[in-house]
Structure 1
């Protein structure tokens, strides 16, 4: 893959979920996706971890295909890592009959995703006044409640993902003025109304 080819999201399976479901691994992967290639030492400094821990967990992520070497960056013995995909797709249908170990990994993964979303949203709220007005008026923190069947909910989820994919295909390059990485969080779940 060349540096200019767009990366695609990865659909998690039971094996990859077990390899990813660790808070530090998820942080490392997110740091590489957002900040680009880095060494274990750079990531350790950024995340407040030891380089031994980041190095170990990067190797585990590589063993499961989440990260790969970035040899174009390395000099000598310096090992650079980069994300192997753009994001993750969690399809709960794949885990309906999961064994207890996979269910435990799934719980860890989903709770870490929820925690990451909370941190990202809190960071945005704390720094929103530092952004240009054009960005402030282009953000969204909406919530809506609909009454849907499971089939309609799956259809809505699919249409939202298709729409996001359309924008992924139209994404400007990093050299485009005023372009920034944006985070899109979607949450769709039933609630009890009693």
Structure 2
């Protein structure tokens, strides 16, 4: 009996570690500006850029984008990127993710949390609207991969927290297995940046307000 031909070993890519930033209150306040959020997203998705390049994409002047880039750099969201050209200053994102834990704070800290979430929501609504406008032009395989679902489930707060954590873990697991954003490898094998949004909240008007607070 012939010995079976040895099979080539399959290379297994270990999940990578995701770099993330957890901003403090002052840094979070700097990030609530809609232009800075868009610029940070562009640097994460498309890789390093100059103030002039970002200004052209955003329809702003380079003076405005330079100011916002300095603000992002001051709080550690971006950093200078090495580049062959010495005439222009190139910037890159310092992290892949911004993590803002669920707030248990009160007063000004809670106001900052709300302002940040409002800025994020406005950005996401704009992205969703643009995606819908482009939907008819997508290849069939990308239309099949696209979803806009909403599901309502009776749950306790503890059960809801477990569910949202499980969903987040699944999304982050997929991100760890993927090439980093902004690198050429992300364009291989038909890969494009795929936008996943997770919104989970009690159905509006169904949770009693905290004791001592009146409903609007």
Written as runs of structure 1 = structure 2, the 5 A alignment for 1:97-136 is 97-100=105-108, 102-136=109-143
Greater RCO structure (CA 8 Å; 6+ sep): 2
- Mind listing any 5+ residue stretches in structure 2 that lack a counterpart? 1-15, 180-184, 208-216
Give the ranges of 4+ consecutive aligned residues of structure 1 lying more than 6 Å apart after TM superposition.
none
Structure 1 residue 19: deviation in Å?
2.3
Counterpart of 1:24?
A: 35
2:196 to 157, 162, 184: 184
Counterpart of 1:91?
A: 101
Larger radius of gyration: 2
The question of whether the paired residues in 2 share the 8 Å contact of 1:9 and 1:86 is answered with yes
Structure 1 residue 44: deviation in Å?
0.9
The question of whether the paired residues in 1 share the 8 Å contact of 2:34 and 2:123 is answered with no
Report the aligned-residue RMSD.
1.9
Q: Deviation digits for residues 56-100 of structure 1, max 9, x if unmatched?
A: 1111101111011111x251131011111112222123xx23442
- Mind listing any 5+ residue stretches in structure 1 that lack a counterpart? none
Q: CA 1:33–1:150 in structure 2 vs 1: closer, same or farther (change >3 Å)?
A: same
Counterpart of 2:167?
A: 160
- DSSP-derived class of the 1:176 partner: helix
Query: CA separation in 2, counterparts of 1:105 and 1:41?
Result: 30
The question of whether the paired residues in 2 share the 8 Å contact of 1:17 and 1:109 is answered with yes
Query: CA separation in 2, counterparts of 1:181 and 1:47?
Result: 19
Structure 1 residue 20: deviation in Å?
1.2
Counterpart of 1:142?
A: 149
Matched, 1:9 2:17: no
Structure 1 residue 32: deviation in Å?
1.1
TM-score, normalised to structure 2's length? 0.79
TM-score, normalised to structure 1's length? 0.87
